[in-house]
A and B are shown apart, each in its own frame.
Chain A
Amino acid sequence: MGMTITEKILAAHCGRDRVAPGELIKARVDLALANDITAPIAIAEFNKIGVARVFDRDRIALIPDHFTPNKDIRSAEQAQIMRQFARRYQITHYYEIGRMGIEHCLLPQEGLTLPGDLIIGADSHTCTYGALGAFATGVGSTDLAAAMATGEVWLRVPETVKVVFKGANWQPWVGGKDLILYLIGRIGVDGALYQALEFTGEAVAALSLEGRLTMANMAIEAGAKNGIFTPDEKTRSYVEGRAKRPYKFYESDKNARYSRVLELDSGAIEPQVAFPHLPENARPISEVGTVQIDQAVIGSCTNGRIEDLREAAAVLKGKKIDPRVRLIVIPGTQEIYRQALTEGLIEIFIEAGAAVSTPTCGPCLGGHMGVLAGGEKAVSTTNRNFAGRMGHPESEIYLSGPAVAAASAILGRLGGPGEVE
């Protein structure tokens, strides 16, 4: 019996030829990461272990991105705990405000998450790096503390669900976000619980690396342990010149075993909107009805990359947003921000009436930079629309890709880019 790409990477990281679903393994970690919310607990737990040093100061990444630039005194103190730890243990990959980015936009850009890697992060969207052909999964702070001390993590080898996106004859304005929202709509928020999601088919082969990062990012929203793509020439050209370490391409054997195989017709997928309060409430744009919006957010670890900003700018160019709408655009990293400036995208956003922010997770989790009042509705390119996620428990979030969010900001209601052309 053959192995899946997920099984091969896990086997390689526990010094074995093969592993099978259900087995518990102790695996070597290539990179362990945390942010300003999860690191303080991890640091407190790390200190209890009583080791003199971290397992490898080059293989830990600490990124202040959630409540930064510090939103209040207590958040500043949380960020301070992480900063002091990074200095004390000489953590190589600590990123200060002005040089940072949203963790899952930043680390691939910096060549720290690579094909064949095993990556854990104290952030549920750590699964993003599966886009590069890595095994990457979110853990809690205590797991991260143990990994910072030992360089290892205990994992249960997951079963794999294979998703085949057939055909590359996409409808206009359909991107990675629409494919993943459509899939979650089909299988539900626990449709891949404890399992790996392996994305295959002509559509994902044709999809850009950035579109794949968007899809892998939301594997967790189907309950998956990891989402993964087979690395290809697009992967190679993305990591070449960025990679800080050697990397290795793995792929699933033809006779690998899957717990389920799901085939989807990509050509039938319209731009999607996930209605409150679960990502599984996905609807095609043609069926959204009339929903007035108060705010639109374009950014986050899901859709804060340059391609996302280009897509939004293509819709917004020469247009003004509805006077009742607040549009907030958040480039994912400083590099993306500068690229958007160079390409004139920031000017398009400001001309349209948008606020452009320094990189931060900010509004995605109701932290700052766009918190909603009771009764308000937002369309957002982020990844979760749980009740209260972006602020007041009685506010509402509608998830979409950048083109729909930009078009909705112009229309003042949910709508697709076709309506504003």
Chain B
Amino acid sequence: MIITGRVWKFSDDIDTDAIIPARYLNTSDPAELAGHCMEDADPDFSKKVKPGDIIVAGKNFGCGSSREHAPLAIKGAEIEAVVAASFARIFYRNAFNIGLPIFESPDAAAGIREGDRIRIDSAGGLIYNLTLDEEYRATAIPPFMAEILAAGGLINQIRRQVKDNV
């Protein structure tokens, strides 16, 4: 999979309350959540972001709550991928489970600036900065997680297993 898009840059330790504040958790509709995506980190974000954009952030992205509303809000905003120096573990699992592509790369997080255009080659684990002409390597996706992505998310994978067992 090749993903190309414009970058919105965020700092370290972006927590799930910043990605989707709890005051909006009385719904789980991705389109509605998308309207408040990243609101407490950047109040105008949902107005500025365009389908196909990419979020690049520092370390520990998605720390805090287990709320799946966080990756759902990002996916609902039609953001194609998230690149971060590191991810909090529940967010990491949730993103794969719902089919939001995420990439761990400290070099990319350090080098990429807001507004840069980047291209991500998910199979090769390479991130190319079209604006700066720089290349960064992403941590390889474990084969098991790649299988979940290939199946179209965890539920599709489980559904197939359940069918096989019948």
Contacts and interface: CB of A to CB of B under 8 A. Distances in A.
Interface of A: 24, 37-38, 40-41, 44-45, 48-51, 66-67, 71-72, 74-75, 78, 121-124, 126, 138-143, 145-146, 149-150, 154, 156, 189-190, 193-194, 223, 225, 278, 365-367, 384, 386-389, 393
B112 to A, nearest CB: 20
Contacts of B78: none
Contact of A37 (B25, B59, B144, B162): B25
A84 B64 CA distance: 29
A143 to B, nearest CB: 6
A137 to B, nearest CB: 8
> Which 5 pairs from chain A and chain B are nearest by CB?
A140-B94, A74-B26, A142-B97, A190-B60, A365-B22
Contacts of B23: 366-367
Contact of B155 (A49, A367, A386): A49
Given A124-B64, A140-B71, A154-B144, 11 more contacts: A41-B72, A45-B155, A74-B27, A124-B90, A139-B66, A142-B98, A150-B162, A189-B60, A190-B13, A366-B23, A384-B15
Size class of B's contact patch? Answer: 35 or more
29 contacts: A37-B67, A38-B66, A44-B28, A49-B158, A50-B162, A123-B66, A124-B66, A124-B90, A126-B66, A139-B66, A139-B93, A140-B67, A140-B68, A140-B71, A141-B66, A142-B97, A143-B154, A146-B158, A154-B144, A189-B63, A190-B13, A190-B63, A223-B63, A278-B13, A367-B25, A384-B17, A386-B15, A386-B18, A388-B40
Interface string B81-101: 000001011100110011000
Contacts of A142: 68, 94, 97-98, 153-155
Contact of A24 (B15, B22, B28, B144): B144
Q: Which of A24, A49, A78, A194 has the most CB of B within 10 A?
A: A49
B17 A389 contact: yes
